[in-house]
Amino acid sequence: MAEKERINPMMRRPIVQEDIVHFLRTRQKQTAGELGRVASEAREKGVPIIPHETAVFLEFFLKQIKPKNVLEIGAAIGFSSSLMANCLPENSHVTTIDRYDMMIAAAKKTYERLNLQEKVTLLEGEAVDILSTLPSDTYDFVFMDSAKSKYIVFLPDILRIMKRGAVLMVDDIFQAGDVLKDIQDIKRNQRAIHRGLNQFFDAVIEHPQLTSTILPLGDGVILITKDDDEIILPKI
Ligand SMILES: C[S@@+](CC[C@H](N)C(=O)[O-])C[C@H]1O[C@@H](n2cnc3c(N)ncnc32)[C@H](O)[C@@H]1O
C-alpha cells in the first residue's frame, strides 16, 4: 500500500466515479516545470498533497479572484503554497503554517528550489496558537488543509482574520462519505474527525452571514465567503 494511502485511507474511496477521477487527473493540463516535478516526487513518496483536480481548481480560482494576502493552514512539503504563490499577481503574498519538523524542512527546500522564498512565509508551530496572533481583516483567501477535527476549532480565528468578502476553502471534508454516517458506525479512532467535521458543517452551511458551496474535488472541498465584517458563530 502506498504511504499516502496508509496516512489517508480515504484516498482509496473516491467520492465520485473512479473513471471520472481518472479523467480529472490525467486529461486536465498537468502541472508544468519544477513545480510539476515537486508534485510527482511528493505523490511517488506518498506525501499527502492536494490531488491534481484540486490543484487545477485552485489555480483557476486564484487567477480569477487575484487575492493579495493568502493564508494556508497545512504546508506539508510546500506544494499547494508554491502553486498559489506561482499564480498570484506580483504584489501578493502567501503565508503558510505547519507544525511538523520534517514537513517544515521539506517545505523550505521546495521554496528555495522554486525561488519562492520572498513570496511565501512559513510560520512554524501549532495552527491554533499561530492563528490567534494573526491580525484581523487581513486575508483575501484562506486554504485550510490540516487536521480535519480541528477545522471547527480554527474557524473563529479564521473568520476574524479574513477580510469581508474573502474566501475560505477547506479541503478533505467528506472522509470518503463517512461524515454522513451515524457516529456509532464510525471507528472510535475516527470519531473526533467525524464530530469535528459535522460541527463545522453545522456552523457554516446555513449561517446567514456566510455563503458556501461544496465541490466534489478530491475528498470534497467547501468554499465559504464572509459576507459581513463580524461573523457571530453559534456556540458548539
Ligand atoms: C495534507 S497536508 C497539507 C498538504 C499541502 N496543503 C499541499 O497540498 O501541498 C497537512 C499538513 O498539515 C499539518 N498540520 C496538521 N495539523 C496541524 C496543526 N494543528 N497545526 C499546524 N500544522 C498542522 C501537517 O503537519 C501536514 O504537513
Q: Is the CB of 95 under 6 A from ligand 1?
A: no
Residue 130 lies in a domain: yes
Q: Edge-to-edge strand order for the sheet containing 120-124?
A: 120-124, 93-98, 69-73, 139-144, 162-171, 221-226, 210-215
Average confidence score pLDDT of the chain: 94
Q: Is residue 100 part of a domain?
A: yes
pLDDT in tens, 146-163: 999 999 999 999 999 999
Average pLDDT for 121-130:
98
Q: Is residue 6 predicted with pLDDT exceeding 60?
A: no
Is there a domain that residue 235 lies in?
A: no
Q: CA-CA-CA-CA torsion for 62, 179, 227, 88, nearest 10 degrees?
A: -10
Is the residue at 236 inside a domain?
A: no
| Ligand 1 contacts CB of residue 14 (under 6 A) | no
**Residue 102 Cα to ligand 1 middle (Å):** 11
Judged by average pLDDT, the poorest of 1-10, 125-134, 151-160, 184-193 is 1-10
Query: 230: annotated binding-site residue?
Result: no
What integer is the mean pLDDT of 214-220?
A: 97
Question: Is residue 200 a part of any domain in this protein?
Answer: yes
pLDDT band for position 2 (cuts 50, 70, 90): very low
Instruction: Write out the residue range of the structural domain in which residue 38 sits.
Output: 3-226
By alpha-carbon position, which residue is closest to atom 26 of ligand 1?
76
Number of structural domains found in the chain: 1
Instruction: Say what percent of the chain tops pLDDT 70.
Output: 95
Q: Is the CB of 79 under 6 A from ligand 1?
A: yes
Q: Is residue 90 part of a domain?
A: yes
CATH of the domain at 166: 3.40.50.150
Q: How confident is the model at residue 4 (pLDDT cuts 50, 70, 90)?
A: very low
